Amino acid sequence: MLSNLKYSTLSGTSVARDFLEFPSQINEHWAMYDAVLKNYAIHYETKEPIPQALVDRMKAAETYGAGFHTIEVVKAAYLDLCWHLVAEETAVLPPAQMEEAAMKSFGVGMTEVPPRYHSGYFMHTFSGGYASNYYVYQWARVLDCDGFEWFLENGGLTRENGDHLRACVLSVGNSVDANVAYEKFAGRKANMKAFLRINGLLDK
């Protein structure tokens, strides 16, 4: 819809897999943004806005379980990669042993956070476009948090900022390398700090 490209094979979702989730995920941040919230979080009959006390409690709970969730996703991403790194001539361990070895080798073998998926029902890794690409969900979170922080640093949700995102990222699709497009948008390479801060994973 926002593309300015001649060929549809380069537009929309036809981008590098590890950039695919960024446009949708950055928009999720606006759901709890005050200027947006007041336009839709209203009672369907009385039109009364959502109570501010409730909004405050919802925002305070946004980081609940963020560390647990992050480890879950990282474990799944490592397991996915491990299955796709098995050489054809290598003897494959039984799935349960493979999972245990994968988690230990990447330093996420803690039992306090059980795996989100076991191999027998981990559909992403064996079918569809996310095979060997489950990590993109986490990488997209790094991008969308960094991108959202760029918005906040530059005046928030304004027409100018939206046009800037459209011009640098949304309209160019795969005609520009994803890293180049992001750096043109944000004026910097994405880093983990915004992700850690937004998810409450940095020390105060």
pLDDT band, very low/low/confident/very high, at 7 (cuts 50, 70, 90): confident
- The number of distinct structural domains making up the chain is 2
Per-residue pLDDT at 144 exceeds 80: yes
Query: Are residues 58 and 76 located together in one domain of the fold?
Result: no
The candidate with the shortest Cα–Cα distance to 119, out of 168, 157, 86, is 86
Question: Does residue 27 fall inside a structural domain?
Answer: yes
The candidate with the shortest Cα–Cα distance to 12, out of 164, 181, 169, 173, is 173
Per-residue pLDDT at 174 exceeds 70: yes
User: What pLDDT score was predicted for residue 70?
Assistant: 94
User: What pLDDT score was predicted for residue 127?
Assistant: 80
State the Cα–Cα distance between residues 193 and 143, nearest whole angstrom.
Answer: 11
Query: Are residues 93 and 178 located together in one domain of the fold?
Result: no
Query: Are residues 144 and 55 located together in one domain of the fold?
Result: yes
Query: Are residues 70 and 121 located together in one domain of the fold?
Result: yes
User: What pLDDT score was predicted for residue 91?
Assistant: 79
Token representation of residue 176: 């520009």
Question: Does residue 150 fall inside a structural domain?
Answer: yes
Question: Does residue 73 fall inside a structural domain?
Answer: yes
pLDDT band, very low/low/confident/very high, at 92 (cuts 50, 70, 90): confident
Domain boundary among 102, 126, 150: 126
State the Cα–Cα distance between residues 3 and 11, nearest whole angstrom.
Answer: 6
State the Cα–Cα distance between residues 146 and 190, nearest whole angstrom.
Answer: 6
User: What pLDDT score was predicted for residue 3?
Assistant: 86
DSSP bridge partners of 42: 49
Where in the sequence is the domain holding 108, given as residue range(s)?
A: 66-126
User: What pLDDT score was predicted for residue 129?
Assistant: 77
User: What pLDDT score was predicted for residue 23?
Assistant: 92
User: What pLDDT score was predicted for residue 204?
Assistant: 62
Domain boundary among 103, 126, 149: 126
Q: What is the pLDDT of residues 158-173, one digit of tens each?
A: 999 999 999 999 999 9
